Amino acid sequence: MLLVSVLLVGCENGHKFVKKTAFKDTDKMVLTFAGPVDESWASNVRNFSAYEEPDPDIVLTIKETTLSPDKTQVTLVFADPLNTGEAHIISATNILSEGQDLGAAVLTVKKLYIGVLMTIFIGAALINNFVFTKYLGLCVFFGTSQKRGTAVGMGVVFTIVMVFAAVMAWGLYQFVLKPYQLTFLNVVVFIGLVSLSVQGVDTILRKVNPMLFKAFGVYLVLVIANCIAIAVPLILADNEYSGWESFALALGAGLGFLIALFLMACVRERLELAQVPPSFRGLPIAFVTAGLFALAFLGFSGLSIY
Amino acid sequence: MDPVLVKLALAGVATLGCIGLFFGVGLAMAAQKFHVEPDPKVEEVLHTLAGAQ
């Protein structure tokens, strides 16, 4: 419960009279006040200035401001589209409410953290699906997508191992490699981590749940040979993701791989019965199918969430 | 050689060594704790079968 509330509660604002700040569309911000503010104050563009948090010297141009009919919401319209991935700082001059001066405010506008996590998750699973748009992990992908059961087994095992490995990779990267300036050893350490988590899951599963081990044992070893398993830690290190973001990325990558495997297995099961020209039988037609899937997944690139 | 680089290299060796040792010991302990007696029958059957692969 606590975690959820921490995730859901967005940011604190620098002024008591400001209830909420949020992005709207691609070029607007909405400031919600606790009570009505004066129109003369709200409609003057010069009372507000905004910049992206990392670049305080680049002041964004505000085209106009509008006040909602109940006078509690001010919408800032910007001349250019906003980079909603970054936090923005808005400074407002002395807020006037019914003639009263409530002091100046410095406000932070950023996306809700859960929204950021969802973006990373959906991004890794669909928009930048590792198999169909980045062409990673193809060897395991073609090796285990002949039957639906195998495909799902591989996908599930991969997701579990990936999440373990990614969270450990995040911890090691942030708390060991970066402080000691050893980031050039990323690849070596991350490969070791993946093998470690595979070996760990193997050892523990063998004892704790032999049935599951029997079903998953074969695929466990294959996870080491999967290039997605090394791509995910490298990406999270490159983008300086936090722990939760790394978790979302790994989960997205795993589920994306599972989706890819399952879709491919469904098609390949049917291809067994189809009349394929002899020269295309087996892997060639599978590659053609994967190409068509990749084309279809391009459709997700226009998807924008949150 | 630049003493800074030497220091970096030594720190790298030491840190990776520590990480390796830590996880190695961890895995060894896990292997001991979750030890499973292998069934001798499995070995026997595998031995009797042709098993080219």
Structural domain range at position B8: 3-48
**A100 and A135 together in one domain:** no
Structural domain range at position A79: 14-111
Q: Tell me, what's the ipTM? A: 0.76
Contact B15/A208, CB-based, under 8 Å?
Answer: no
Q: Number of structural domains, chain A?
A: 2
A-to-B residue pairs, Cβ atoms closer than 8 angstroms = 40
Query: Of A66, A89, A111, which residue constitutes the final position of a domain?
Result: A111
**CATH (domain of A68):** 2.60.40.1220
Residue B53 domain-assigned (yes or no)? no
Contact B19/A208, CB-based, under 8 Å?
Answer: no
Contact A188/B27, CB-based, under 8 Å?
Answer: no
Q: How far is CA A9 from the centre of its chain?
A: 18
**A126 and A208 together in one domain:** yes
**A186 and A247 together in one domain:** yes
**A94 and A165 together in one domain:** no
Q: Number of structural domains, chain B?
A: 1
**Residue closest to A156 by CA, chosen among A8, A257, A54:** A257
C-alpha triplet A158, A215, A281: angle, nearest 5°: 75
What are φ and ψ of residue A35, in 5° steps?
-145, 180
Please tell me the predicted confidence (pLDDT) of residue A286. Answer: 93
Q: Searching chain B, which residue's CA lies closest to the CA of residue A188?
A: B16
Nearest to B15 among A182, A200, A210 (CB): A182
**A137 and A228 together in one domain:** yes
**A98 and A22 together in one domain:** yes
Please tell me the predicted confidence (pLDDT) of residue A14. Answer: 66
The residues of A whose Cβ lies within 8 A of any Cβ of B are 172, 176, 180-182, 185, 188-189, 192, 196, 199-200, 203-204, 206-208, 210
Q: How far is CA A170 from the centre of its chain?
A: 15
Please tell me the predicted confidence (pLDDT) of residue B25. Answer: 94
Q: Which residues contact A1 (CB under 8 A, 6 or more apart)?
A: none
**A221 and A188 together in one domain:** yes
Bigger pLDDT: A11 vs A106: A106
**A54 and A152 together in one domain:** no
Q: Which residues contact A298 (CB under 8 A, 6 or more apart)?
A: A133
Residue A1 domain-assigned (yes or no)? no
**A158 and A242 together in one domain:** yes
Which of A44-58, A136-150, A210-224, A286-300 is predicted least confidently? Answer: A210-224
Q: Searching chain B, which residue's CA lies closest to the CA of residue A205?
A: B34
**A70 and A151 together in one domain:** no
Q: Searching chain A, which residue's CA lies closest to the CA of residue B13?
A: A182
Please tell me the predicted confidence (pLDDT) of residue B53. Answer: 57
Q: Is the pLDDT of residue A306 over 70?
A: no
Residue A294 domain-assigned (yes or no)? yes
pTM: 0.75
Confidence of residue A107 (pLDDT cuts 50, 70, 90): confident
Whether the CA torsion A216, A221, A226, A230 is positive or negative: it is: positive
Q: Searching chain A, which residue's CA lies closest to the CA of residue B23?
A: A196
DSSP SS3 for A102 = coil
Alpha-carbon distance A164 to nearest alpha carbon in chain B (angstroms):
14
DSSP string, A237-254: HHTT--HHHHHHHHHHHH
Average pLDDT, chain A: 86
3-state secondary structure string across chain B: CCHHHHHHHHHHHHHHHHHHHHHHHHHHHHHHHCCCCCCHHHHHHHHHCCCCC
**A182 and A35 together in one domain:** no
